[in-house]
Chain A
């Protein structure tokens, strides 16, 4: 081996892998259209189709669109999860993963770097959803500061969801398996307070599921910044669950990454 080679610093490894992830995202811009557009289409349809819900006794005194704005951020996070997972699965299937495994790259660097592109997408789509919401007349009760906090929370949620996609990719090594999980994750969003406040969920089992579904608290955290202003409890639960999901998924992904590398 040539002299002068030393094991690169962790940050340098992360940067190299992340750079590739970002380049791939930028060069496949067309693939971003559907994941960004689909939640907005649903927002437009449901925001109008369910506007009668505001007439349910006990519904918060806001427009249904304002109530619903939190949901696209969650749906966008799901697309980020699938993208992150499919990209990694494709690397595994194609053997590119092995190529990287032959270098001194650390498992943590591989994991963190792979997130580069998905996180960029999460940031871009969060800004788009926010701007579309504002453009359609939704006011952000917590002001400019709250909007920034909303963006941070949204990206944090997307990061945690990206961990889910990554975990699935490392576990199954197949893009198809990751995509097959997506509908289940998508439906999990429905079994929450995405469409109505939890106190208006009449069916007892549904109320029960929504109460224990972390997605409810993530949505309510974002929603509170839009319709309530600064709700410390909702924010604490929202950020708390976002961080917990992130720690759990990234932790499990790290183990899965080390296992898949399985180098001596």
Chain B
């Protein structure tokens, strides 16, 4: 008999007073010990989902359970079972890293005798031992994120929510954080619910990926299966003269599905595989069309998103002004959430 899901969501909805549904009826289940990647552009509903699952924002309708506890009825038990590193690092720049951990430990109910040891353990684990007694105001972005992760782990939760944990980090910091998240899940057995707008992050880390757009899950499976569903490589053609776009579309009609990019490029699937690339070139040549560039893509999660929504995920500036509400139901100024 399989264990109950660590996170189970059924038709979860969140509406805001003056705006569209930020989360529009999502269903998902995350198995214990799994890394679930929640992928989508800015404004898709990712962070709103996390806020609901971490009990900081009540849902409008639907139900969800985290760690076996209902998020509405058993909020205190949910919070005791989870750790969360939300979109902002949310640290006090005046306190040191160690002081943060001691405060968190006290509030989480760690016995006094164990607090200092636990704090040191976590500082060692995230590589902040040397900086432990410096004020957080002097930390780099990567250090702040690592401290954020350490704080989420103080009370040894079985489920961890990470909301865009590597946004704004340099490559080195990002890679280090990935390694730690992977270790947490696959060595310590912690369930990780990770939201991200970075394809490579979802690809690299997630056991399964849910793609969310406009508050709905448009696709869900392992990264490999999602890409295999698309199946075919895609060639992206950028005309030398963008005004001749129609001509290009016409010349490429005999191949697979076409999608026009906002920059005038045309992406066309190659049902016959990479071998059809030469035929594409011949067709364009025969039509007397000159290309500025030609790129062959193997299927990526961006292509999956493109196939499901008609838009690219990367560079997609989601203009939906999702009014973000702080947990009290009041808007937090000016910050758009995914």
- Decide: B90 and A27 in contact? CB cutoff 8 A: no
- Decide: A95 and B79 in contact? CB cutoff 8 A: no
The count of A-to-B residue pairs whose CB atoms sit within 8 angstroms is 120
Cβ contacts B69-112/A at 8 Å (1 or 0 each): 00111111011111010111111101100010001101111110
Residue A145 lies at the interface, judged by CB distance under 8 Å to chain B: no
Cβ contacts A249-264/B at 8 Å (1 or 0 each): 0000000000111111
In the complex where A92-B326, A94-B90 touch, is A1 in contact with B95 (Cβ < 8 A)?
no
Please report the C-alpha to C-alpha distance between residue A263 and residue B54 in the assembled complex, in whole angstroms: 9
User: Which of chain A's residues has its CB closest to B71's CB?
Assistant: A264
Residue B205 lies at the interface, judged by CB distance under 8 Å to chain A: no
- Decide: A13 and B327 in contact? CB cutoff 8 A: no
Residue B18 lies at the interface, judged by CB distance under 8 Å to chain A: no
- Decide: B106 and A16 in contact? CB cutoff 8 A: yes
- Decide: B94 and A12 in contact? CB cutoff 8 A: no
B110 proximity list for chain A (CB < 8 A): 2, 4-5
Residue B58 lies at the interface, judged by CB distance under 8 Å to chain A: yes
- Decide: A96 and B103 in contact? CB cutoff 8 A: no
Cβ contacts B302-338/A at 8 Å (1 or 0 each): 0000000000000000000000001111101100000
A173 proximity list for chain B (CB < 8 A): 326, 328, 330, 332
- Decide: B326 and A4 in contact? CB cutoff 8 A: no
Q: How many residues of B contact A (CB 8 A)?
A: 48
Q: How many residues of A contact B (CB 8 A)?
A: 40
Residue B291 lies at the interface, judged by CB distance under 8 Å to chain A: no
User: Which of chain A's residues has its CB closest to B75's CB?
Assistant: A264
- Decide: A262 and B58 in contact? CB cutoff 8 A: yes
Please report the C-alpha to C-alpha distance between residue A39 and residue B81 in the assembled complex, in whole angstroms: 50
- Decide: B108 and A23 in contact? CB cutoff 8 A: no
In the complex where A1-B157, A174-B333, A264-B71 touch, is A99 in contact with B94 (Cβ < 8 A)?
no
A8 proximity list for chain B (CB < 8 A): 106-109
Please report the C-alpha to C-alpha distance between residue A173 and residue B81 in the assembled complex, in whole angstroms: 28
- Decide: A96 and B91 in contact? CB cutoff 8 A: yes
Residue of B54, B95, B156, B328 touching A102 (CB-CB under 8 A): B54
Cβ contacts A10-41/B at 8 Å (1 or 0 each): 00110111011001100110000000000000
In the complex where A24-B92, A93-B332, A103-B79 touch, is A1 in contact with B106 (Cβ < 8 A)?
no
- Decide: B333 and A104 in contact? CB cutoff 8 A: no
- Decide: A101 and B104 in contact? CB cutoff 8 A: no
Residue of B55, B84, B94 touching A24 (CB-CB under 8 A): B94
- Decide: A264 and B55 in contact? CB cutoff 8 A: yes
Residue A105 lies at the interface, judged by CB distance under 8 Å to chain B: yes
Please report the C-alpha to C-alpha distance between residue A165 and residue B151 in the assembled complex, in whole angstroms: 29
B84 proximity list for chain A (CB < 8 A): 102
Please report the C-alpha to C-alpha distance between residue A5 and residue B83 in the assembled complex, in whole angstroms: 15
A12 proximity list for chain B (CB < 8 A): 106
Residue A98 lies at the interface, judged by CB distance under 8 Å to chain B: yes
Q: Which of B174-195 contact A (CB under 8 A)?
A: none
Residue A6 lies at the interface, judged by CB distance under 8 Å to chain B: yes
Determine how close the nearest CB of chain B comes to the CB of A216; give it in whole angstroms: 35
Please report the C-alpha to C-alpha distance between residue A261 and residue B94 in the assembled complex, in whole angstroms: 23
Residue B56 lies at the interface, judged by CB distance under 8 Å to chain A: yes
Please report the C-alpha to C-alpha distance between residue A263 and residue B58 in the assembled complex, in whole angstroms: 8
In the complex where A12-B106, A262-B327 touch, is A98 in contact with B90 (Cβ < 8 A)?
yes
Most buried by A among B72, B111, B135, B157: B111
User: Which of chain A's residues has its CB closest to B114's CB?
Assistant: A4
User: Which of chain B's residues has its CB closest to A258's CB?
Assistant: B328
- Decide: B80 and A20 in contact? CB cutoff 8 A: no
Cβ contacts A72-85/B at 8 Å (1 or 0 each): 00000000000000
- Decide: B81 and A1 in contact? CB cutoff 8 A: yes
Please report the C-alpha to C-alpha distance between residue A99 and residue B154 in the assembled complex, in whole angstroms: 12
User: Which of chain B's residues has its CB closest to A3's CB?
Assistant: B156
Residue B155 lies at the interface, judged by CB distance under 8 Å to chain A: yes
A264 proximity list for chain B (CB < 8 A): 55, 58, 71-75, 78
Most buried by A among B54, B74, B94: B94
Please report the C-alpha to C-alpha distance between residue A12 and residue B109 in the assembled complex, in whole angstroms: 9
Residue B145 lies at the interface, judged by CB distance under 8 Å to chain A: no
- Decide: B58 and A5 in contact? CB cutoff 8 A: no
Please report the C-alpha to C-alpha distance between residue A4 and residue B117 in the assembled complex, in whole angstroms: 15
A104 proximity list for chain B (CB < 8 A): 76, 79-80, 107-109
- Decide: B114 and A23 in contact? CB cutoff 8 A: no
A-B contact sample (14 more), CB < 8 A, given A4-B110, A5-B155, A23-B99? A2-B110, A24-B94, A92-B326, A94-B90, A94-B91, A100-B107, A103-B104, A104-B76, A104-B107, A174-B333, A259-B328, A261-B327, A263-B79, A264-B58
Question: Which residues of B line the A interface, CB within 8 A?
Answer: 54-56, 58, 71-76, 78-82, 84, 86-92, 94-95, 99, 103-104, 106-111, 114, 135, 151, 155-158, 326-330, 332-333
Query: Could you jot down 29 A-B contacts, CB within 8 Å?
Result: A2-B155, A5-B80, A5-B109, A5-B110, A8-B109, A12-B106, A13-B106, A15-B106, A20-B103, A24-B92, A93-B333, A94-B88, A95-B86, A95-B87, A95-B89, A96-B92, A102-B56, A103-B108, A104-B80, A104-B107, A104-B109, A173-B330, A260-B326, A260-B327, A260-B330, A261-B327, A261-B328, A263-B76, A264-B55
